[in-house]
Amino acid sequence: MLAIERPTRNLSLDLLRSTEAAALAAARWVGLGRKDEGDQAAVDAMRLLLATVPMQARVVIGEGEKDKAPMLYNGEELGTGEGPSVDLAVDPIEGTRLVAQGRGGAISVIAAAERGGLFNPGPGFYAAKLVVGPRAKEAIDLSAGPEENLREIARALGKRLREVTVFVLDKPRHMGLIERIRQVGARVSLHTDGDVGGALAAVLPDTGIDVLMGTGGTPEGVIAAVAVKALGGGMQMRLDPQSEEERWALVNNGYDPQRVYTLDELCPAEDAHFAATGITDGQFLRGVRYRGEYAVTHSLVIRGHTRTLRYIESHHLLEKLRAISGELY
């Protein structure tokens, strides 16, 4: 006889309210060219909602330190002080430039796990990443070159190389990588920002993306790892300092820039939580829509323990939101 497991509280659904709030606040700044103001609005809204969640939470990964932006800072305590003790990785806006320029793909995102359940990158701001969906998770090896990885990924997916599409951030550091991907015969999908979204696109079905390759933010890598693990995908990451100052900081703090981290090292927790809400239209989430007195948000929520994935559309009465939270919305 199978043991019956009783349902427990799903923290992911509580965290969802914080990404919805941040997305709604950021959406007011879409296309206005004012990057810092939009970021600050999202941070304020996320912090306001996280303070209401019954948890004893500590921010272990915040985005602001790398970008010198308004932030939920590392070590900040959040929640009501009751309930589970958790570590948080937050990014109120992934793609602040996308919001400022009115471009697609900006999201608000948060991940949570039991204390010690998220990798701490220390002073590492950048990392090389390789992310694929469940069918190709045994085919990747970050210590090998892109050519070998793409051949193995194509084989695992049952595709020709010309049918494999790779998400790459459009940065000068990736010029060589882009050329190597194209030379082996695969296709490149270039994006100016948003590698949490890119990692999700590589794992979720029907996005047109098969794999994420290249160097992006380390905080984004840890956040993405929670979703990738919960969805049964594959991911490897290696710290990739972009300056001598960053390299020396890593070495002096005991990190090996050559070490490849597995998904279980990035997210050792089994019951981790992930929530993301679209700010502007992307590959798998719609951005905030305004319908007169209402605003509509579209979100993705994942719980690692059950591997339940939810797409949630919420309709927010703006008059009520403003009565509760002032002019954030």
Which residues are annotated as part of the binding site for Mn(2+)? 39, 63, 91, 94, 220
Dist CA 194 CA 171 (whole Å): 12
205 or 74, which is more confident: 205
Grouping H, G, I as helix, E, B as strand and the rest as coil, residue 278 is strand
User: Residue 11 pLDDT more than 50?
Assistant: yes
User: Residue 297 pLDDT more than 60?
Assistant: yes
pLDDT digits (tens, 9 = 90+) for 146-174: 999 999 999 999 999 999 999 999 999 99
Which residues are annotated as part of the binding site for substrate? 94-96, 126, 171-173, 193-195, 217
Alpha helices in 2-107 (DSSP H): 11-27, 35-50, 64-67, 96-101
Q: Which domains does the chain have, with CATH numbers?
A: 9-115+269-323 (3.30.540.10), 124-264 (3.40.190.90)
User: Residue 89 pLDDT more than 90?
Assistant: yes
Q: What is the pTM of this model?
A: 0.92
Closest CA to 30 of 81, 79, 93: 93
User: Residue 136 pLDDT more than 50?
Assistant: yes
Closest CA to 288 of 79, 93, 2: 93
Lowest mean pLDDT among 9-13, 23-27, 41-45, 191-195: 9-13
First to last CA, the chain: 52
Dist CA 328 CA 43 (whole Å): 11
User: Residue 22 pLDDT more than 50?
Assistant: yes
> Residue 174 in contact with residue 151, Cβ under 8 Å?
no
Residue 327, pLDDT score:
64
If you count them, how many residues does the chain have?
A: 329
Which residues are annotated as part of the binding site? 39, 63, 91, 94-96, 126, 171-173, 193-195, 217, 220
